[in-house]
Amino acid sequence: MLNSRAMTARRFRDMADVKTWNDEMVARYDLDRFHAHPSPLVRLVESRRVARIFALLAPRPDDRVLEVGCGAGHLLARLPAGRAVGLDLAESLLARTARRIGRRAALAQGDAGALPFATGAFDRVYCSEVLEHVVDPAAAVREIGRVLRPGGVAVLSVPNEGLINRVKTTLRRLGAWNLVMRRADYAMPERMDDEWHLHAFDLAMLRSIIPPALRVTRVVGVPFRACPLRWVVRCEATS
């Protein structure tokens, strides 16, 4: 079920198997710890990424906005406008989202590759650092296009895995990894990228899974275009 650019040889029997594995990853890697990362560099990249996502999304007060893969609700809590809906595969993360944001969003449990919403139900959809975790990211992006109304906006964010790994290698060679990343007091293991990421994204791979129904209108590298550790892409629904 995984494509040729997958990071792991893991095979899944069915969706129940996927969910069991994902629940294990959720329990192993604390998203709250990541969003409060001790490294100023990581916090800078993440703050810029979130700001870019919402700037490109540009939700209006009456827009119906969906986050695909809302995790523990860190981005939903910062959504600047719109009537929010969050979806995640893990019930434990949805429970944490509910505690974080209260009644500010409706929440749904489901698979990104088979969204439980009507065609054209949303004005805005964003999917932040999720596609690398799903078995079939192309199916997830097609579903995002399906649930968008014509003229609606989707914003997709993925890690630029190759550049991230080169930066990690350079920091280790220079003996600066612990200094820059502040690993000494941080509990989340480094293996998350290898273990929870099913796909190694770059911009070309992200573009390759965007269907014709979504027209790319803007591509942003984060924190900077010259050093794109993250790619954020804005699309408009054409039909």
Percent above pLDDT 70 for the chain:
90
In a 3-state reduction of DSSP, which class is residue 156?
strand
The whole-number pLDDT of residue 169 equals: 84
Mean pLDDT of 146-174: 92
What fold does the segment set 15-237 form as a domain?
Rossmann fold (3.40.50)
- The two tokens of residue 85 are 């809906």
Angle at 3 between CA 217 and CA 140, to 5 degrees: 45
Mean pLDDT of 124-141: 96
Alpha-carbon distance of 173 to 141, in angstroms, equals: 37
Do the beta carbons of residue 217 and residue 234 sit within 8 Å? Answer: yes
Angle at 22 between CA 20 and CA 26, to 5 degrees: 115
- The two tokens of residue 102 are 């209260």
pLDDT tens, 19-74? 999 999 999 888 888 787 777 778 888 999 999 999 999 999 999 999 999 999 99
DSSP annotation of 40 reads H
Reported as half-sphere exposure (CB side, CA atoms, 13 A), residue 153 has a value of: 19
Residue 88 Cα distances to 33, 122, 174, 219, angstroms: 19, 17, 39, 25
The full set of domain ranges for the chain reads 15-237
Which of the four pLDDT bands, split at 50, 70 and 90, describes residue 185?
A: very low
Alpha-carbon distance of 30 to 192, in angstroms, equals: 10
Look over the chain and give the mean of its residue pLDDT values, rounded to a whole number: 89
